[in-house]
Amino acid sequence: MQIETRSEKVNFNKLQKRLRRLTGQAIAAYNMIEDGDRIMCCLSGGKDSYAMLDILLNLQKYAPVRFELVAVNLDQKQPGFPEHVLPEYLASLGVEYRIIEEDTYSIVKDKVPEGKTTCALCSRLRRGILYRTATELGATKIALGHHREDILETLFLNMFYGGKLKAMPPKLISDDGKHIVIRPLAFCREKDIARFAELKEFPIIPCNLCGSQPNLQRQTIKGMMTEWDKRFPGRIESMFRAVTNVAPSHLADNRLYDFSKLVPRGTPVEDGDTAFDRETFPLQFTADNDEETNTEDAIIKPVNIMDLPA
């Protein structure tokens, strides 16, 4: 999409600044990038991974620490995959990159019976290949382009269908125990990223080439969150804040909080049980829904309800 007028340019700059600032804040909050890191950026050809690479390349110029970036795409040999798109784009950026060609598509088609969901095997194969590539490249971190809505969707998927209070962390050790996975866009809104991708005209590669059906459970959660965002401004921001602000003593998991050892101390306890009192909510979150003019983010700065106009 062409940026033509002065106001479009101003709005684009604001959007870009916001995404860069939130990415910088997430990186700092979780110590995602350290001096000397070699970061493998996983590029799928979707809007999120393009945005992540673009933002990290910019941060690389100004960050107080020195780090290297290497972009990696896994060509899974899905029918119609436009294999020239990513190499041409990455060469134009002048960034180090590696395209891995592995026909996981045929393996999945061969192993998974017709009509069954293919994503579990496909992602397991992809994960293994990416871990192996990270080792080959000497990468110290693996960066993925998941954003705030991905994190919340995962939280609800786990609660609704998995019986677990578990989201998608901004930083974690990989399940093979050998790598550190980071999600620098953890604080960024999906709609900001989508708009940014549109304005930057990233050469998006469609994500349905494998012919897999969309995950209905994820679709349901997405729909629910989109509806909430429209009907209850600020709810998404509040939910994300909740993920960063957990009170283990007010849940019921003995592994997180040893309820068996509780003894009264005789002095007031901050965050102690208030018996029959109803919960009050001193904080109210503003929706950062304004696509272009938002300047502060509720993730970082909750608004005190006492400061709001009556």
Which position among 58, 212, 220, 249 is part of the footprint of ligand SF4 (CB under 6 A)?
A: 212
122 binds ligand SF4 (CB under 6 A): yes
CB of 120 to ligand SF4, least distance (A): 8
CB of 118 to ligand SF4, least distance (A): 4
123 binds ligand SF4 (CB under 6 A): yes
135 binds ligand SF4 (CB under 6 A): no
CB of 175 to ligand SF4, least distance (A): 16
| Distance (Å) of CA 137 to CA 63, 74, 99, 128, 179 | 22, 14, 12, 14, 12
Which position among 119, 137, 287, 300 is part of the footprint of ligand SF4 (CB under 6 A)?
A: 119
Placement of tokens 């509040």 in the chain: 238
CB of 77 to ligand SF4, least distance (A): 11
CB of 166 to ligand SF4, least distance (A): 20
73 binds ligand SF4 (CB under 6 A): no
Beta carbon nearer to ligand SF4, 53 or 108: 108
Part of the chain binding ligand SF4 (CB under 6 A), chosen from 50-58, 119-127, 174-182, 294-302: 119-127
CB of 233 to ligand SF4, least distance (A): 32
Give the residues across from 74 on adjacent strands. Answer: 100
118 binds ligand SF4 (CB under 6 A): yes
Both tokens of 1, joined, read 């999409």
Distance in angstroms (rounded) separating the CA atoms of residues 207 and 19: 23
Chain contacts with ligand SF4 (rule: CB under 6 A): 118-119, 122-123, 210, 212
